Amino acid sequence: MPTHSMKDHVRKILVEIGEDPDREGLKGTPYRVDQALRYLTKGYSQDVDKILNNALFNVKYDEMVIVADIDFFSLCEHHLLPFFGRCHVAYLPDKKVIGLSKIPRLVELFSRRLQVQERLTYQIAETISKKIAPLGVGVVIEAQHMCMIMRGVEKQNSRAITSAMLGVFQTQETRMEFLDLILRGRTR
């Protein structure tokens, strides 16, 4: 629940790190940090069912559906620092599909929270699995973590890659088909 105290806390943090919260450039900072944090964690107040409302369809389509290269931005729950990258989502429908535009919205809902990459990956897969009961779901996330990059851990360009494979995506063949299709589309 929004309170008026987040600004006060940010002000205290500024003092704690040795700053003068009353100097010109920092006067509006507690307010801006408050607003930014609320925006970056707005996924808490979003509802999966509202987002998917009217976007679950009965369709006779039994090929793999893939939405690749979904950009996302999240905050790691250990340091409150950003991690960001790309998410690839695929599923093999069983009578039901999700409106394609809703998949990035789902990624957004779960990434605008304090997260660890592994859980973010799993939550996206699990939600799709629950909502349309497909034959299988695969989610792969590639991300860079500012808490690794900025804090001087050596591998500055390292990416963390996580995956969640449910149902038929646990079989070698389907998993490989998914990974192949993601990699083939790689132009960026």
Residue of 19, 46, 79, 142 marked catalytic: 79
164 DSSP β-pair partners: 139
Minimum distance from residue 151 beta carbon to Zn ion (Å):
8
- Give catalytic status of residue 76 as yes or no: yes
Specify the long-range contacts of residues 170-179, CB closer than 8 Å, at least 24 apart. Answer: 170/136, 174/64, 174/92, 174/136, 174/138, 175/138, 177/64, 178/64, 178/66, 178/88, 178/90, 178/138, 178/140, 179/140
- Marked catalytic residue, from 46, 126, 142, 147: 147
CB of 119 to Zn ion, least distance (A): 13
Decide: 159 and 118 in contact? Cβ < 8 Å: no
Which one, 48 or 116, has the nearer CB to Zn ion? 116
Nearer to Zn ion, 133 or 161 (CB): 161
CB of 34 to Zn ion, least distance (A): 21
Residue of 77, 118, 156, 170 with catalytic role: 77
Structure letter (DSSP) for residue 124: H
- Which residue number, 26 or 114, has a Cβ lying nearer to Zn ion? 114
User: Which pair of tokens denotes residue 33?
Assistant: 């940090």
Q: Would you please indicate which residues are annotated as catalytic (active-site) residues?
A: 76-79, 117, 145, 147
